[in-house]
Copies of this chain bind each other. A is one copy, B any other.
Amino acid sequence: MQIPIEISARHAHLSKSDLEILFGPGFELTKLHDLSQTGQFAAKEIVELVGPRGPLDGVRILGPVRAQTQVEVSETEARHLGLNPPVRDSGNLDGTPGVKIIGPKGEVILKQGVILALRHIHINPATAVEIGVKNYDRVKVDTSGTRDLLFENVLVRVDPSFKLAMHIDTDEANAAGIDADNHVGEIIVP
């Protein structure tokens, strides 16, 4: 089955309390544009990160707010910051490094929450049944082009709200030559 491949650039999900520290009491995120997954959006707001080795600016906030703050960067960006985050699925933050987050109204010293996102696919229950996978399975996704590769160990996330899409980070997209002209993969169920 073919699947659209979407590239996740560096971004942060914020808790309500961290949002208010960074942007002020009672602040609400402003939608820049919807993302492919229902209810998720890119906000106009951006923050700066400061790690032990250097800063990283232009980190977009994705909404809505979440229970805990989570920062997703590429390995390239993590090295620039001087951090060594593990590859994790979303929300699995125990033992991950922290980082300083700077907003227009304040700073948050995040104790943990920086990850490299585990490559994954979003799929709805009907399509999951159709191809024979369930939540938390692993599949492979084959790409094409000059930098043709096969992503193995791709996490499957199933939810009725999901639209079929694979999410990879910028390093993975660059390594696979994924861009506006080449952004469809083939799901391979082991």
Contacts and interface: CB of A to CB of B under 8 A. Distances in A.
Interface of A: 74-76, 86-87, 118-119, 146-153, 168-172, 174-177
B74 A174 contact: yes
Contacts of A172: 147, 174-175
Contacts of A169: 175
A172 B170 CA distance: 11
A7 to B, nearest CB: 11
A151 B153 contact: no
A190 to B, nearest CB: 12
Contacts of A147: 87, 119, 153, 172
- Which among A76, A118, A176 has the highest number of chain B CB atoms within 10 Å? A76
Contacts of A146: 86-87, 118, 153
15 contacts: A74-B76, A76-B174, A118-B146, A119-B147, A147-B172, A148-B152, A148-B153, A149-B149, A150-B150, A150-B152, A168-B175, A169-B175, A171-B171, A172-B174, A175-B175
